[in-house]
Amino acid sequence: MPGYELPSLLRARLEALPDGLRAHVERVRQLARDLAARHGIDPRMADLTAAAHDVARHIEPRRLLDEAGRLGIGVNEVERAEPVLLHGPVGAAWLRDEGSVTERDALEGVRWHTTTHPDLNPLARVVLLADKLDPRKLRQYPFQEQVREAALRDLDEGLSVFLDGALRQSIDAGRLVHPASVAARNALLLAKSC
Ligand SMILES: [Fe+2]
Ligand SMILES: [Fe+2]
């Protein structure tokens, strides 16, 4: 099923993306619409947010750092070491400033789709999960099927399973962990224990 009509500025941004990235975005749009419908979230907003989520994913690390500085985005030490983590915040700021996406929840979804965040709105949760559920990411996330099953039941469960798997992977590989991911996992665990 084709996606909804997109704002023209966003459409232009999508058309300028490298082919592989654009194909990923189209798969995520479909996954996000389906997951949104399943959880009573507006599929049109899910489609828009998914369409927008990776507009800065192809940008080189040096330029992401420069853009973050120019746009007044605070950069922590993990992001400085791994600037790819800034593609959500930079993309969201571009879309906000040019007015191609104005909805706050959608911009939040773009901003935090890589690391997550403790207070992520439901639309943003859907898009983050849809991004991780792209079948082409199975090798990156071998626990993808467990995420899918959990996400179909409950968005928080899906996020928990994803964060557990992703953080475990990072630790096993000796990689840095973004503080927002740790905070998000703690928030989910604390919410469950209440
Ligand atoms: Fe991304
Ligand atoms: Fe993505």
Handedness of CA 141, 165, 55, 110 (dihedral sign): positive
Query: Which residues keep their CB under 5 angstroms from ion ligand 2?
Result: 54, 131
Task: Find the 193 Cα to ligand 1 centroid distance in Å.
Answer: 31
Helix (H, G, I), strand (E, B) or coil at 158: helix
Return the beta strands (E) in 25-138 as ranges. Answer: none
pTM: 0.96
Task: Find the 50 Cα to ligand 2 centroid distance in Å.
Answer: 8
Task: Find the 194 Cα to ligand 1 centroid distance in Å.
Answer: 32
pLDDT in tens, 122-181: 999 999 999 999 999 999 999 999 999 999 999 999 999 999 999 999 999 999 999 999
Identify the pLDDT of residue 1: 56
Q: Considering the domain boundaries, does residue 19 fall inside one?
A: yes
Ligand nearest to the CA of 89: 1
Q: Considering the domain boundaries, does residue 126 fall inside one?
A: yes
Q: Please count the structural domains in the chain.
A: 1
What does the buried/exposed string (b/e) look like for 98-137 if buried means 16 or more CB atoms within 10 Å of the residue's CB? eebbeeebbbbbbbbbbbbbbebbbbbbbbbbbbbbbeeb
pLDDT in tens, 53-110: 999 999 999 999 999 999 999 999 999 999 999 999 999 999 999 999 999 999 999 9
84 touches 41 (CB < 8 A): no
Q: Which helix (H) or strand (E) holds 78?
A: helix 77-81
pLDDT in tens, 2-42: 679 999 999 999 999 999 999 999 999 999 999 999 999 99
Range of the domain at 39: 8-193
Task: Find the 84 Cα to ligand 1 centroid distance in Å.
Answer: 9
Task: Find the 113 Cα to ligand 1 centroid distance in Å.
Answer: 6
Residue 173 belongs to domain with CATH number: 1.10.3210.10
